[in-house]
Amino acid sequence: MKKLAFLACSLLLLILAAGIASAAQIKVYVSEFAITGATNKDELKTTLQTLLASRLSGDSLLSVDSPAGADVLVKGSYITFGKIFSIDAVARDAGGRVIARSFQQGESQDELIPAVGKLGQGLATEIAAKAVAAPTAPMQPQRSAATVPTPRDIEKPVQTSDSGVIHTSLASDIVKPEDLTRTASGGWLSQRLTGELIAIAPGKLMVDGSQDFYLAGGKSLRLYRKSDSLKLLAEVTFGAREKVLGIDSADLDKDGMPEAYVTIMDGESLASQVWVADGNDLKRIAAKQPYYFRGIALGGGEQKIFGQQMSNDRDFYGDIFELVKSGNSYEAKNPFKLPRFGYLYNFNRFRDKTGAENWVVINEDGYLIVYSPAGEELWRSSDKFGGSETYFLREDLANVRTTGDPNRWIFLEQRITVTPAGDVIVPKNDGMFVIGNNRAYKKSSIYCFAWNGSSLDEKWHTKQSQNYLPDYFYDHSRRELVNLEIVKKEGLLTGGASMVAVRKVE
């Protein structure tokens, strides 16, 4: 009898454990948020979706990335009135029955993430209680009986090069997963470099195959030489009021030694400088230049330095111009205008098969846009690209009552590269906590597109790196992508670290 009682108790415990395990597997899908009143709608609707989904995952709930097979569907809305925001969410079971509601409000963006946390906590408690009390069948995707899967629905393997770059035929819509063994063996990685470096530009290529690189942090400019590893040759630091925003290089005087054009903010004014490698040292050849600098091979042509100015009330003012070196001085020549959303740091130009020179721009929400020479929008991407944590501040007291911040944050976008063949190369940084001025990118890839006459088709993309990419450049003559990646972010008590990765593009 004791043995039978023991078996009965054991069976009961197993049943209870199975019930608990089942309860812990309530699958919840959070759809994109509806946004009202906010300027960055496209960014917020997916960011809030990701934030709430992460807050709902726990012991009793499991967030899933598709409504197919989910037990509960959550829809949310975000509404702003001046500084005040309201965030609401409703959860329904597979039968459409409302099983939970929750809302939170706040008075600034600083309160948004805590509000999402409280919203998720309230929803999770109600969902766990009601969904277990009245379980329903999982949601199934709607598909008509006549629907047949197409190649677009299927991902199959494709060959990759030893470079770690995924190659696909322009005529194919099938993207293949990379061969991880071959991908890991391609390219070259530097040792860890001290600090969070923000910019990289090529220096002189030596006869023996070694290469000089200019790298910059927020307060420094460094000269490295690449052979088996990166060797630090020289470093200069800047003043307390000076902040480096970027570096670019070009050999404007044609003496065989590319100069480093360093964009610097001194307080709230531009005071950029020009440096050059002098043996194993760095020499300054120009200071207090009132320009932003950007090195661009416009349309895949010769690498030149372009500039733009700022005014008292505009962060990027006037036309783009070419910087021309004349002796020891510089002149602004050949000005031109950009299409809508364009400024010095987010554009390039490519020539299509008809000979038309189309513009390509990353807009403020991160979407690639192609414009005709006349400025007509021809195409817009459905995915976001670019993404940068490099910024500077300008006083903005006129809007402090609306924004809650006495300063305006200006982020500099990633560079767009166009190859001599007309291909468009653009990076893509991703991260969960990217809302407005709060940016924390965690992973990155680089994509290459070709214009087919009506849209940009992907030709290849690099294997995703688990690091933020602050800058890169493409060396077409050597078919190399040179990436600057941050491998460790700075903390309150710890310093950051970076590395340089060189990958072949066959």
- The closest alpha carbon to 72, from 59, 53, 88, belongs to 53
Of residues 8 and 391, more confidently modeled: 391
Of residues 231 and 93, more confidently modeled: 231
> Position of tokens 């190649």?
151
Cβ contacts of 435 within 8 Å, gap of 6 or more: 43, 44, 47, 109, 112, 113
Q: What are the two backbone dihedrals, phi and then psi, of residue 79, each rounded to the nearest 5 degrees? A: -130, 135
Q: Which of 11-15, 253-257, 387-391 has the lowest mean pLDDT?
A: 11-15
Is residue 310 within 8 A of residue 353, CB to CB? The reply is no
- pLDDT tier at 232 (50, 70, 90 boundaries)? very high
Give dist(CA 18, CA 124) in Å, integer.
21
Mean pLDDT of 247-258: 95
Is residue 29 within 8 A of residue 66, CB to CB? The reply is yes
> And the tokens for 375?
């400025």
Strand partners, 323: 332
Within the chain, what is the greatest distance between any pair of CA atoms? 104
| DSSP designation for 397 | G
Residues 44-63 have pLDDT tens digits of 888 888 888 888 877 788 88
How far CA 200 is from CA of 52, 245, 262, in Å, comes to 36, 11, 11
239's enclosing H/E stretch is none
> Looking at residue 24, what is its pLDDT?
54
Give dist(CA 232, CA 487) in Å, integer.
19
- The closest alpha carbon to 61, from 131, 145, 140, 8, belongs to 131
> Position of tokens 């020499």?
283
pLDDT at 467 over 70: yes
Is residue 47 within 8 A of residue 35, CB to CB? The reply is no
Give SS3 for 44: helix
> And the tokens for 133?
């009390």
Please say whether the dihedral angle defined by the alpha carbons of residues 441, 445, 449 and 455, taken in this order, is positive or negative: negative
Residues 143-156 have pLDDT tens digits of 443 343 333 333 33
Is residue 154 within 8 A of residue 177, CB to CB? The reply is no
> Position of tokens 């052979």?
227
> Looking at residue 185, what is its pLDDT?
40
pLDDT at 16 over 90: no
Q: Which of 15-19, 347-351, 495-499 has the lowest mean pLDDT?
A: 15-19
Is residue 250 within 8 A of residue 260, CB to CB? The reply is no
Could you give the angle at the alpha carbon of 331 between the alpha carbons of 327 and 334, nearest 5°?
130
Is residue 487 within 8 A of residue 498, CB to CB? The reply is yes
Mean pLDDT of 9-26: 50
How far CA 379 is from CA of 45, 124, 446, in Å, comes to 22, 41, 20
Question: What dihedral do alpha carbons 140, 146, 147, 148 form, nearest 10°?
Answer: 120
Residues 76-134 have pLDDT tens digits of 988 887 668 889 898 888 878 888 888 888 877 778 888 888 888 888 888 888 765 55
- pLDDT tier at 242 (50, 70, 90 boundaries)? very high
Q: Which of 6-10, 26-30, 239-243, 475-479 has the lowest mean pLDDT?
A: 6-10
> And the tokens for 210?
């070694």
- pLDDT tier at 184 (50, 70, 90 boundaries)? very low
pLDDT at 137 over 80: no
Give dist(CA 388, CA 330) in Å, integer.
29
Give dist(CA 336, CA 50) in Å, integer.
41
Q: Helices (DSSP H) in 247-385: which residue ranges? A: none
Is residue 286 within 8 A of residue 274, CB to CB? The reply is yes
Cβ contacts of 228 within 8 Å, gap of 6 or more: none
Give dist(CA 141, CA 195) in Å, integer.
48
Give dist(CA 108, CA 111) in Å, integer.
6
Is residue 31 within 8 A of residue 92, CB to CB? The reply is no
Mean pLDDT of 66-79: 87
What mean pLDDT, rounded, does the chain reach?
Answer: 84
Please say whether the dihedral angle defined by the alpha carbons of residues 455, 459, 463 and 469, taken in this order, is positive or negative: negative
Give dist(CA 108, CA 410) in Å, integer.
19
pTM of the model: 0.67
Cβ contacts of 417 within 8 Å, gap of 6 or more: 297, 348, 424, 425, 426, 473, 474
> Looking at residue 133, what is its pLDDT?
56
Q: Which of 76-85, 294-303, 345-354, 412-421 has the lowest mean pLDDT?
A: 76-85
Mean pLDDT of 235-261: 96
> Looking at residue 301, what is its pLDDT?
95
Q: Which of 97-111, 126-140, 240-254, 355-369 has the lowest mean pLDDT?
A: 126-140
Strand pairing report for 434-435 and 61-63: unpaired
pLDDT at 178 over 60: no
- pLDDT tier at 180 (50, 70, 90 boundaries)? very low
> Looking at residue 159, what is its pLDDT?
46
Mean pLDDT of 236-259: 95
> Looking at residue 381, what is its pLDDT?
96
Residues 274-289 have pLDDT tens digits of 999 998 999 999 999 9
> Looking at residue 171, what is its pLDDT?
43
Percent of the chain with pLDDT over 90: 53
pLDDT at 176 over 50: no
> Looking at residue 157, what is its pLDDT?
38
| DSSP designation for 375 | S
Is residue 263 within 8 A of residue 246, CB to CB? The reply is yes
Q: Which of 65-69, 309-313, 403-407, 474-478 has the lowest mean pLDDT?
A: 65-69
